[in-house]
Every structure is written in C-alpha cells, then in structure tokens.
Structure 1
Amino acid sequence: MLVVRAETRKDRVMAKIEKDRAENSRQMRSGEGSFIAAGCHLQGDFTFSGPLTVAGSLKGRIKSDGMVIVETQGMIDGILDAAIIIVHGKLNGSALATDSMEIWAGSDVRGNVHTRSIRVDEGSLLTADLTISEVLPEQRLDLSQEASSTEEQTPVPPAVPQRSSSPLPGSNLARRLAAMNENQ
C-alpha cells in the first residue's frame, strides 16, 4: 500500500519555524546569540543578529533577524521586530513576528501584535490589537508610526446588532416552532 501525503503551506511554514528554532538554539549554545542579563536596563534603538534572550529590560526599538526570548523576569517596552518572539515575561508596545509568536503562561503582552502564527498559553495575559495573517507587509512595519497613530485615534464602541424576537425564516428553529404550532 502506498500512502502519499501532500505537503501543505502550513506544513512548510511549521517546518521552517522548527528549522529556525534549531538554528537559533545552536547559535545560543555556541555563544553567537545576545543576552541581556537580569538587572541590566537598556534604552535606545537596537539591532541584533541572531537570537536574543532578554532577562533584564529593554526600552526602545528592537530589531532581530532571529528569535527573541523574553525570560520570566525580562521586559521589553517599545517596538519589537523579529522572526520568532517567545514571551515568558512582559512585552509592552508593538510587535511584529514574521514567523511566529508564543505567549507562555504567566506572561503579559500588551499593545499591537502582527504575526503569521501565534500560540497563547492558558494563564497568560494578552491585551492587544492582534493581526494574524499569512501575508505580512512586504516591508517590515514602521511600528513607530502605527503606535503613534493608534494613540491619536478615538475608539468607536462596537455596534450592537438589533435582534429580532422571532427566528430567521427557514431556520431549524423556525421550522420547529411552525411544527409545534400545527400540532396544537
């Protein structure tokens, strides 16, 4: 018996993410990655090559072509642009994860999030405008403009749809009610 499995786009994306994770892990073990230690507080615009682990705090614009891991005691406040973002601690601001984002239990993410794939664990806090899309902007987002334009916007309350007191014509409920009325 011959079994053929067609590879889907999702399978290819997940395989790429796993490959990137393995490469990032290899880089961290070999000392190629960057580490912001607990108790270290940095502010400014930063560009990292390869994986970045944050156990301290970063404030500003952070860009990495690899994986960014925010440890349990770590915090990022500002604009984060990376391939893979994994949050165990706090992330406040705007984030673009071009491959995937993971929000683990006990973490706190607030702001704007754009990603292709997201995992949110039970026990985490996600308070964000969330965009999940296979098609992300061709160019990396200029999240500073987005963050400032969001602050200037006035929130519009959601419209409450008017509900009819009778079921939709042709629905299962309408047919059941009609049958009950005929039997009475």
Structure 2
Amino acid sequence: MFQAKQSNNPLSFIAQSCQVKGNLTFSGDILIAGTIEGNLSTSGNVVIEAGGVVKGNIEAKDVTISGNMHGEAHCHKLSIADKGCFEGDIFSEKLEIVESGQFIGQRHLASAKSASKAAVTTSNTKEKTNKEKPNELAEEQPLTEKQ
C-alpha cells in the first residue's frame, strides 16, 4: 500500500559529538553538527548547523553555514545564515549573507575559475591530439605537384 520514499540524494550526518579528521568524499547531501578537520567533497549540498565546524575546503553544489567554517568553498551558491561565520575564500556564482552572519575573506566568481580550468583542459587535449595524430595533420595539408 505505502512505498518507501526514494531519495535521489542520500543524506549523511555528522552528529554534534563527532570529530572527524581527514578528507571526505560523499555522493549526496551532508548535514554537519559536529567538527570536521579536512577537505569535503560532494555532488550534493552541505549544511553546517549552529555548533558545527569545518576547518578545510568544501566542494559542493550549495553550502549553507549556520556554524563556523574556515577554508575555501567552491560551490554554486553559498549562504551564511544568522550567527554563521565563514573565514576564507569563496568561489561561487551566488553569495547570500543574512543579518548577523559574518564573512571574513574574499569572494571570487566561480565562473572565472571554471573557465580557466576549462581552457587549460581544452589546451591540453588539443596538444595531446596533435601529438597522437601527426600523420593525420600532414594529410590535411594540400599536396603540390613536383615540377
């Protein structure tokens, strides 16, 4: 009669009494009420609750901070909630700071950084292609008759 709700993004939770050290990779949303010392990467969203602390870099879709974060955040949108504090560099397209939220650091547009990464990747791909197929490049040049 009733079916279990299927979630596209699994939720991971770091409880208040948890202290985690090291680099972490997740596939879904993360809710942090404890302390993480290390880098955090996910394809989902990150929420740092009041009392939660992250000392390291975060790479996620969206980041919401009600606790404290020190490091870099690479995301689409970063929100600093009431009494939330972020110290470091933000690489995002959107930034929202609610009254009483604190931001100490610099904000960089994510699109500029992404564009430079894409340009380097494209350049490297072209160089590899040219090195791997030297005969094809020679064949594309017009041949002239010998006189």
- Paired position in structure 2 for 1:93: 71
Match of 2:90 among 92, 96, 113: 113
Segments of 5+ residues of structure 1 without an aligned counterpart are 1-25, 141-184
- Paired position in structure 2 for 1:129: 106
Q: Is the 8 A contact 1:27 1:51 kept in 2?
A: no
Offset of residue 136 of structure 1: 4.0
Distance between the aligned counterparts of 2:38 and 2:54, measured in 1? Answer: 8
Offset of residue 103 of structure 1: 0.5
Distance between the aligned counterparts of 1:70 and 1:122, measured in 2? Answer: 17
Q: Counterparts of 1:26-175 in structure 2 under 5 Å? A: 32-97=10-75, 99-138=76-115, 139=117
Distance between the aligned counterparts of 2:68 and 2:100, measured in 1? Answer: 13
Greater relative contact order (Cα < 8 A, sep 6+): 2
Distance between the aligned counterparts of 2:78 and 2:66, measured in 1? Answer: 11
Task: Please tell me the residue identity of whatever aligns with 2:43.
Answer: D
Q: Is the 8 A contact 1:42 1:57 kept in 2?
A: yes
Offset of residue 134 of structure 1: 4.1
Offset of residue 125 of structure 1: 0.9
Q: 1:96 to 1:133 in 2, by over 3 A?
A: closer
Identity fraction in percent: 23
Distance between the aligned counterparts of 2:110 and 2:46, measured in 1? Answer: 20
Offset of residue 132 of structure 1: 3.1
Offset of residue 90 of structure 1: 0.3
Q: Aligned pairs, how many?
A: 111
Distance between the aligned counterparts of 1:36 and 1:27, measured in 2? Answer: 20
Q: State the Cα deviation string for residues 87-109 of structure 1 (Å, max 9, x = none).
A: 01001011111x21111110110
Offset of residue 137 of structure 1: 1.4
Structure 1 moving runs of 4+ over 2 Å? 132-136
